[in-house]
Amino acid sequence: MEFKQFFPSDILKPYVGHYYLFESDSDAEFVDTVFPSGDMEMIFNLGGGVWETSVDDEFRINPKIELWGQVTKPLQIRSKGKHSMLGIRFFTHSAAYFLNEEMGVFNDQVLDLAYIIGDPVKILHAQMLETADIKSKIGLIEDFLIRKLISNERKTDKIEKVGSILRTIKNNYSDTNLSLVASKYNVTPRYMHKLIQQCTGLSPKSFNKISRFQLSLKMLSAKAQPLTSIAYDCGYFDQSHFIRDFKSFTGQTPSAYMENMTPVNNLLLQ
């Protein structure tokens, strides 16, 4: 397996965390689990392999052009065949610039982006299949995203406000502080909750829990600190609080995760 990251052009840096190319030459079938990341993704399958996602305890084939909604719980996936995939990882709030629906309708699903956006993304996929080098493929994606950004310009102020609110929450979160955050942005706590939910698919509390969980994953992968230190540094009340939250997002304890780190999640933490 090979995983490469590419950074967006300056005009798209506020919206795209990175692009990535995932390639695998192995035909070996494997099952893995995707954990909540707090971000949404669009993925273009450019190879012959097949990805499947567990839905109601059975695996279903993913579309060739995938939209990943917010993952809020462990999600099993299965790989068959060789892969070449080019993905776009957005920031928590920024997929909303490019889609017209409220983001919560996509939660815990892998959907057909061609069904949601239609012919423009089908044309983009076809062009990418005919394009050899990665730089040109990313150029096609950027042209597509910029056109979508322009067409949805009316939403810019609202989504930018959500991004700013999320940064404030992430830097200083507590239940009692949410009213102060809302006041800072001249909105009521109830409206702030609704605004964040619409643009991210997450509540403020869920956003904070996933952000804290992702930080703990990175620290666990570094294998440089004991669990008690990680729990404290990530803002958990105590180690039992850390273990409980971690298990809700992964289906296993931190210790079990460290003993059996899976290939896909190793790549996603890069």
Is domain 2-153 classified as CATH 2.60.120.10? yes
pLDDT in tens, 211-264: 999 999 999 988 778 889 999 888 888 899 999 999 999 999 999 998 877 666
Residues 188 and 184: their CA atoms lie apart, in Å, by 10
pLDDT for position 269:
54
Where along the chain do its domains lie?
Answer: 2-153
pLDDT of 6 reads: 97
3-state secondary structure the chain: CEEEEECCCHHHCCCEEEEEEEEECCCCCEEEEECCCCCCEEEEECCCCEEEEEECCEEEECCCEEEECCCCCCEEEEEECCEEEEEEEECCCHHHHCCCCCHHHHCCCEEEHHHHHCHHHHHHHHHHHCCCCHHHHHHHHHHHHHHHHHHCHHHHHHHHHHHHHHHHHHHCCCHHHHHHHHHHCCCCHHHHHHHHHHHHCCCHHHHHHHHHHHHHHHHHHHCCCCHHHHHHHCCCCCHHHHHHHHHHHHCCCHHHHHHCCCHHHHHHCC
Q: What is the pLDDT of residue 28?
A: 81
Say yes or no to pLDDT of 9 above 70.
yes
Per-residue pLDDT, 206: 93
Averaged pLDDT of the chain: 91
How far is the CA of 269 from the CAs of 4, 47, 50, 127, in angstroms? Answer: 12, 23, 22, 30
Q: Which two tokens stand for residue 190?
A: 């109830």
78-137 tens-digit pLDDT: 999 999 999 999 999 999 999 999 999 999 999 999 999 999 999 999 999 999 999 999
Q: What is the pLDDT of residues 147-179, one digit of tens each?
A: 999 999 889 999 999 999 999 988 875 555 788
pLDDT of amino acid 223: 79
More confident residue, 148 or 28: 148
The predicted structure's pLDDT at residue 172 = 73
The pLDDT of 22-49, averaged and rounded, is 92
Of 3-7, 126-130, 265-269, the poorest mean pLDDT is in: 265-269
Q: For 207, what's the count of Cα atoms within 13 Å in the CB-facing half-sphere?
A: 31
Phi, psi of 239 (to 5 degrees): -65, -35
Q: What is the pLDDT of residue 224?
A: 75
> What b/e string do you get for 164-190 counting C-beta neighbours within 10 Å, with b at 16 or more?
ebbeebeeebeeeebeebbeeeebeee
